[in-house]
Amino acid sequence: MKNSIAERIADFLKNHPPFCSLSLADLIVISKESQVLHLEKKQVLFNINDQPHPFFYIVKDGAVALSVVYDTEKVLIDECDEGDIVGLRPFFAKDAYLMTAEASEESLLYAIPIAIFKPYVFENAEVSSFLLESFASNTRNPYDKENKGKLISESVSYNERDDTIQYFKPISYTPNPVTASRTDSVKSIAETMTRRKIGSVIIQENQLPIGIITDKDLRSKIATGLFTIESNAEQIMSTPVITVRANGSVAETQLIMLQHHIGHLCVTTDGSSESEIMGIISEHDVVVAQANNPGVLVKQIKRAESALELKTVRDNLTKLIKNALSEDIPIAHICQIVGEINRAITTRAIELSIIKIGEHPPVPFAWLNIGSQGRKEQLLLTDQDNALVFEDVAEERYDIVQKYFLLLADNVTHVLNVVGYEFCPAGMMASNPLWCKSLKEWNAQYNTWIHSPAEKGILMCSIFFDYDFVYGDKVLVDAITANIFKNIKDNQIFFAYLGSDSLKNPPPLGFFRQFLVEKDGEHKNTFDVKSRGLMPLIDAARLLSLDREITDVNNTLSRFRELAALEPQNAAIYEACSDAFSVLLKFRTEEGFASGSGGRYLDLNKLTKLDKVKLKNAFHPIHDVQEILKTRFQLTYFT
């Protein structure tokens, strides 16, 4: 008699690794012993410190969140979707779970018996390799050529260099760990561990690691009566000590722990047991390193049902940015990750707003982020700048169509305000009728800016040349882009006025290389890093990119890279501009976090001598690139 439930389970498993490496006959055998598990939303599958189940699980429908408690806060580590495996720990370690697994929504899981499945792991190298790699790196599918090791799954992807922000960044370790000698008593070591609230002590001889005693050793060897509390460290220590170098990655560290079935690694100067002890890494350190990763944040965004839930994600993003800065992750990588997460937040805000209105958009439309959001350079919670374009409609329908989109935009901007993005003081938002209009009107607006570039118009329009498509119909945005480049081609007056505006902030150093600071007002004697440092580079990159017809590249760093490739004769200047922009943006971001502000004004008295030198060196490329602007666009008479 056929077992229809087993057949349905097998039919599902065969489409997902590692089960796809097994024969259908084997899958039927496994499925007959498997169970179907239904979880209500918020129902816990297992908790931290629970003893391992005799099953591991694969998500059939719904989602399961994995979390830890860190500094008394619940921290989401990952969310497992359809086809993802949950609870692999019993395969590789016999101690308790390190995370809590809880249904994010109503979910259906298949529980696979470990005893039944384990023989297939040993017999099939592909299965065992998949499980080990997946568990070590937290990569949902390490065999996926498209998404292997990517930080953000589904619709968001990055190049491999961005992996440094997550699992391939150096693991943090605890320096100067507590040590003891081989002749010290276990009692004294246990008392030290209790007093210092630590889970391990390294046994050393001449500063070299010869063993380690952990909580596990005390439980398994002392509490069981195998040895007395008066025994020497040498009698119960685990040896040899597994040692690693200081700059090992998160994934590499976890893989070593899994391979040796241990929870602690000793860090030494050269990574061997023959060199001096530097620190210790615990399994807890690995878990913490995986918290607040971008992939989890994007999954949280997609499931958010309110503005407050999106705010929680943005708060966690702030932690990610701070951690990345402290680890010296390149600012370009941080901008790319943050830009995509900001875009995902806006996308979800639009989706929630459409649901709230209860009516689908009457015609196709596109939402644009502009300014720093459009350039993906908004690392701090500064004000929002956005716009909306909708498909051309008959005149008699225009008012009612625009009314819908103004209502939509008003909802979206209010959601973003709750998230933490202040309303634009100048009203440059899609909720303003000036910036919410049809394609025909947008093209007419750009044509006015381009062909009648009075000074006021240039000041107003420059921000609108930094736009990023976020949501809707990209065809509308492409039409605007095509119209712009058609109208600026060989338009000397436009480039002259825009160029003149780009030169309004010369290099910010006076005589004797003194910083030009604010002379009066609220920010007297501070340095305006935005206007005097960042904006000259942003303006130059924008102008030169428009001149060279560089499309779909709006980030300042990316623009300078494109320019360097197109103009080898100026490559050194453009590369220097890119480096300078990175330095200045990092200064602004760190100041913003330190002062709880937009980071625009720096108190020079609080900077070290080295920081002041870095700032001054970042100003040289401003002079050089502005000389290129003056020559190329014949700006002598405008300056």
Burial of 559 (0-12, 13-18, 19+ CB in 10 A): buried
The CATH number of residue 29's host domain is: 2.60.120.10
Residue 423 near residue 383 (C-beta atoms within 8 A): yes
201, containing H or E segment = strand 200-205
278 and 322 in a common domain? no
For residues 552 and 541, what is the distance between their CA atoms, to the nearest angstrom? Answer: 14
From the list 358, 476, 455, the residue with the least C-alpha distance to 408 is: 358
Instruction: Please provide the DSSP assignment of 568-597 as one string.
Output: GGGHHHHHHHHHHHHHHHHHHHHHHHHHTS
pTM given for the model: 0.69
In a domain, 296, yes or no: no
Residue 21 identity (one-letter amino acid): S
The CATH number of residue 348's host domain is: 3.30.460.10
Residue 58 near residue 83 (C-beta atoms within 8 A): yes
| 346 Cβ contact partners less than 8 Å away, ≥ 6 residues apart | 367, 369, 386, 412, 416, 470, 471
For residues 530 and 354, what is the distance between their CA atoms, to the nearest angstrom? Answer: 35
For residues 191 and 189, what is the distance between their CA atoms, to the nearest angstrom? Answer: 5
For residues 428 and 383, what is the distance between their CA atoms, to the nearest angstrom? Answer: 10
281 and 182 in a common domain? yes
Residue 210 identity (one-letter amino acid): I
For residues 464 and 430, what is the distance between their CA atoms, to the nearest angstrom? Answer: 12
In a domain, 85, yes or no: yes
Residue 194 identity (one-letter amino acid): T
475 and 357 in a common domain? yes
Domain that holds residue 540: 499-632
Burial of 172 (0-12, 13-18, 19+ CB in 10 A): middle
| 582 Cβ contact partners less than 8 Å away, ≥ 6 residues apart | 330, 331, 332, 557
Return the structure tokens found at 67.
Answer: 């979390």
133 and 46 in a common domain? yes
* Chain centre distance of CA 83: 23
Return the structure tokens found at 396.
Answer: 């008699």
Tell me: the pLDDT tens digits for 36-67?
999 998 899 999 888 899 999 999 988 898 88
520 and 477 in a common domain? no
End-to-end CA distance of the chain: 90
Side-chain half-sphere exposure of 625, counting CA atoms within 13 A: 39
| 62 Cβ contact partners less than 8 Å away, ≥ 6 residues apart | 39, 82, 103, 104, 105, 106, 107, 108
In a domain, 412, yes or no: yes
Cα-based angle 573, 579, 585 (whole degrees, multiple of 5)? 130
Cα-based angle 607, 612, 614 (whole degrees, multiple of 5)? 125
Residue 529 near residue 588 (C-beta atoms within 8 A): yes
In a domain, 157, yes or no: no
State the pLDDT at residue 456.
53
280 and 337 in a common domain? no
473 and 509 in a common domain? no
State the pLDDT at residue 160.
33
In DSSP terms, 280 is beta-bridged to 174, 266
In a domain, 66, yes or no: yes
592 and 523 in a common domain? yes
List of the chain residues with pLDDT < 70: 1-3, 70-73, 92-94, 132-170, 251, 258, 287-293, 295, 454-460, 509-514, 518, 636-639
Q: Which of 467, 489, 511 corresponds to the end of one domain?
A: 489
The radius of gyration of the chain's CA atoms, rounded to the nearest angstrom, is 29
Q: Are strands 243-244 and 264-268 parallel, antiparallel or unpaired?
A: parallel
* Chain centre distance of CA 289: 13
142 and 11 in a common domain? yes
Return the structure tokens found at 368.
Answer: 């644009």
357, containing H or E segment = helix 331-357
State the pLDDT at residue 636.
67
Tell me: the pLDDT tens digits for 554-569?
999 999 999 999 999 9
185 and 85 in a common domain? no
In a domain, 162, yes or no: no
Residue 421 identity (one-letter amino acid): Y
In a domain, 626, yes or no: yes
476 and 330 in a common domain? yes
371 and 429 in a common domain? yes
Q: Which of 289, 315, 337 corresponds to the end of one domain?
A: 289
The CATH number of residue 219's host domain is: 3.10.580.10
Q: What's the domain count of the chain?
A: 4
Q: Which residues of 90-102 are buried (b: 16+ CB within 10 A; e: fewer)?
A: bbebeeebbbbbb
In a domain, 219, yes or no: yes
Q: Can you say whether the dihedral through the CA atoms of 526, 529, 533, 535 is positive or negative? A: negative
Q: Which of 489, 517, 535 corresponds to the end of one domain?
A: 489
Q: Are strands 174-175 and 277-282 parallel, antiparallel or unpaired?
A: antiparallel
